[in-house]
Amino acid sequence: MPRLRDVAAQARIGAAAGTSGRTQGHEVMKRQIIAIGGGALPMGQDNNLLLVDYFLKQTRKRRPRVCFIGTAHGDAESGRLRFYSSFGQFECRPTHLPLFARTPRNLESFVLEQDALFVGGGNTRSMLAVWRDWGLVAHLHKAWQQGIVLGGWSAGSICWFEQGITDSIAGPLTTLDCLGFLPGSNCPHYDSEPQRRPVYRRMIARGRVADGLAADDGVALHFIGGRLARVVSARRQARGWQLVRRGDRAVERALPTRYLGAG
């Protein structure tokens, strides 16, 4: 099984090529990752599913096959039910990949028959360890190369980058080396968790983490061919952010963000 670093190197080489994979007619499907800051599957009275609708549309299929991967929450039933409840409101064929119950025998075939893979939030460090043990990382990389849309929120956002800001360990936020499909670092929940913004800025300024991107809850960073193509939001005032190190400080810039709702 390829190590994470090997897969990351392959991803960076592939990203430079821009497109690859499955064809529809004469069209070559592009590599896509949609990294969401948080709030992708709202609970309670807030039935804002604009990001779910956007995610599904990127498959360009009338009834896409979309698979939920809830490893970061230990395949908790609550996350799975939220997924089916939300995605079930659209024309799609939802399923899920269990890694703590009976897992499909041919994991690669199961992954590659999907049109999109949607990763839930939770403990990113534990999620990556389980993925590595099952050999799932190589299958996800192959899916990405073949034009299957990848994405998710929180843990399902930072996992695709070289580094992420995580609360996987109790106490202060820490950095985590991730898959490296996308360059740089990532921080989710930028406006909803008070410590995210100051900690990420401090880590950038001190060079503890690479320059990167942050996303407020309800915001999706849409990468095509390994590059950020657009930022979209299910909330009017929410934004995506770029952070770069300049000397001994972090410079933060709000990214143009398109609101997906009406008006």
Catalytic positions, written as ranges: 154, 189
Tokens representing residue 34 in the block = 């949609």
| Neighbouring residues of 21: CB distance < 8 A, sequence distance ≥ 6 | 28, 29, 31, 145, 146, 147, 148
How big is the CA angle at 143 (ends 153 and 212), to the nearest 5 degrees? 45
Q: Which residues of 208-224 are buried (b: 16+ CB within 10 A; e: fewer)?
A: ebbbbbbbbbbbbbbbb
The Cα 70–Cα 51 span in angstroms is: 18
Q: What's the distance, Cα to Cα, between the start and end of the chain in Å?
A: 49
- Cβ(145)–Cβ(31) under 8 Å? yes
Would you list the DSSP string of 154-169?
A: THHHHTTEEEEEE--S
Closest CA to 148 of 60, 88, 75, 230: 60
Q: What's the rounded Cα separation, in Å, for the pair 26 and 197?
A: 44
